[in-house]
Amino acid sequence: MSHPVFVEQNGRKRGVFYSSEECEQQVRGNRSAKWSPYSSVEETKDRCAGASPRQDAQPLTLEPSHQHSVVSGELAGPAFPSDVKKESFFAVQPKLTSQGSLNGDGDFCSEANFILGMQLEESKAMPSRLSAELRPAGDSQPGIQLSEEQMVAIEHVRKGHNLFLTGCGGTGKSTVLREIIRQMTEILGEENVGVCAMTGVAAENVDGCTLHSLLGIGVPYERKDFRKMRNKSNSRRLQRLDLLIIDEVSMLSGEMLDYIDQELKEVRHSTEPFGGLQVVLSGDFYQLPPVRQSKVAKNAKAFNNLGYAFESNAWQSGALKVVDLAEVHRQRDSEFILALADLRRGEDTSRFQELLRQVRRQLPKPVDGIESTILYCHNISVDRHNLRKLQQIPSREVKFAAKDRIYPFGPKESEAKHEKALRAHSFWKNCRASSKLALKEGAQVMLLKNLSQTRGAYLINGSRGVVQGFADSGNPVVRFRNGQSKEVSTEEFTMKIPGIGACIRLQIPLALAWAVTVHKSQGMTLDRLKVNLDGTFDFGQAYGKLHWDFSSN
């Protein structure tokens, strides 16, 4: 005889129940949890056997671009450095108990899903939470054309898959990530999409915040610091999320990812990977690695930031789809691309050394007066170089002071606490726009914001120019490399910290550009560079300096 049954997903307990009341008890207070009615256990089994993630998703209609030639498969190589042991995992494995809660060591415990002698296969039983919300994909943002491989990455996310987006420099990872953010924000709503990166500069590039800010953990020194994610305001924010996007994932350690995974399971009352939260990870593991502790603490309670993200248990269980972009859009010289690929993988660099010998020469003085920017590793080298060059210009110096604003979110009783957190935030120190900017007529500058993406008239983050003078308004007038002369007005630089508030700096979006650090050049498109490899102090840093818009010319 058939009886009505109910399948409950993502709640305190998951499985088959015989009344809607039982289901309601499990999902109450958890927005990500849901239950579905079926007429019989047999129908439930059929549903479990036949479901697949987001089957009713509409295909993308974005037109692929074939304007860029694809270098042969020699370019891409493996997505992960070959000398890393993928067997090395960091966080303690969850210990299973019959209570389905935390054990004494703080590890998440899961209740086994045996009900009526039937074990549900959760990966099959749970349809994508977005399937009913998807609509046919519209065109990508005006002025942006996506290649076929870039469209594949976006479609994975729209289907509800976890994604690792990677590729060598210049393959368009940032472009794809921005398009994913745009589309998924339209589908899910801004408050349900968490956008973050491992550094403040990278976070600005994707209009997000740092991962530490989003999680509410600050800078962790001990394992218990990750339990701050359970605080009321933090847990409420994390329960609301449907999608978490993390950029520059090469700097995210495996140890940290495992602790985040465990705390998300606790906060979201789910044993699914990342607590049932869909994740998109983007970055290149051949570039900057996680910041290592100078000395690994032997204290069992210490957090040492060990290993790469892909070495973690969370990575293995997360079933991430991997899209390794191979089509280079930034460089147009195939020989240089292949030489960079050798350098990236640490393989035979004879091709790269030969190329360097060929191009070693005195550069001609540019006819437009725009000099090459020097990339340094350290801020102090950049500051000294820019200040020295500015002081050599005899014209009048004009100074611009930033106006900083904070906007706390949340109830009135939390306002003082949130205001304090915003004032102390690292955004003010790391913002690309400085609190004080000094310019002179003839100063070499770069743009810090996208002002125009009209074809043939690009003025984007990293566009180089020279200060021609100052308008009646006091704003600088800059002649850019594309021939445009433009008065540059004040722009907003914003970092939103979900559930806390927003930090906003109002400043002229320019920086002195005789020199810049590798760190602050993230996300920029610079086309005239001198690279100084002195002081390179970490893996991937030399390659990070060289993967720009270069050619042997």
Residue ranges of domains in the chain, CATH in brackets? 5-50 (3.40.970), 141-325 (3.40.50.300), 360-546 (no CATH)
> What is the b/e burial string over 319-329, where b = at least 16 CB atoms within 10 angstroms of the residue's CB?
ebbebbbbbbb
Give the residue among 490, 423, 502 at the shortest CA–CA distance from 204: 502
Q: Which long-range contacts (CB under 8 A, 24 or more apart) does 332-337 make?
A: 332/549, 332/551, 333/550, 333/551, 333/552, 333/553, 334/69, 334/71, 335/552, 336/550, 336/551, 336/552, 337/71, 337/75
Q: Kindly report the number of other CB atoms within 10 A of residue 202's CB atom.
A: 24
Report which of 102, 26, 92, 22 is spatially closest to residue 265, judged by C-alpha positions: 102
DSSP H helices, 15-65, are 20-27, 41-50
Q: For 96-130, b where at least 16 C-beta lie within 10 A, e where not — what string?
A: eeeebebeeeebbbbbebebeeeebebeebbbbbb
Strands 193-197 and 163-167: unpaired
Distance CA 20, CA 7 (A): 10
Q: CA-to-CA distance for 262 and 270, rounded, in angstroms?
A: 10
Got the DSSP string for 189-207? -GGGEEEEESSHHHHHHTT
Question: Cβ–Cβ contacts within 10 Å for residue 222, how many?
Answer: 12
Q: What angle do CA 251, 322, 9 make, to 5 degrees?
A: 95
pLDDT tens for the chain, 553 residues: list them: 444 555 555 554 555 555 555 566 555 555 555 656 655 555 555 555 444 333 333 333 333 333 333 333 344 455 655 554 443 344 443 333 333 333 334 333 332 222 222 222 233 333 343 433 333 444 556 556 888 999 999 999 999 999 999 987 677 888 899 999 999 999 999 889 999 988 777 787 788 888 988 998 988 878 889 999 999 889 999 999 999 999 989 999 999 999 999 999 999 999 999 999 999 999 988 877 887 665 666 666 788 888 899 999 999 999 999 999 888 765 555 667 677 777 767 777 777 777 777 767 676 677 678 888 888 878 898 999 999 999 999 999 999 999 999 999 878 888 888 899 899 888 898 888 999 999 999 999 999 887 875 545 668 777 889 999 999 999 999 999 888 899 999 999 988 887 788 899 999 999 999 998 876 666 555 666 676 666 555 555 555 545 544 544 5
Q: What is the pTM of this model?
A: 0.60
46 φ/ψ angles, rounded to the nearest 5 degrees? -60, -40
What sign results for the dihedral spanned by CA atoms 138, 140, 143, 149?
A: negative
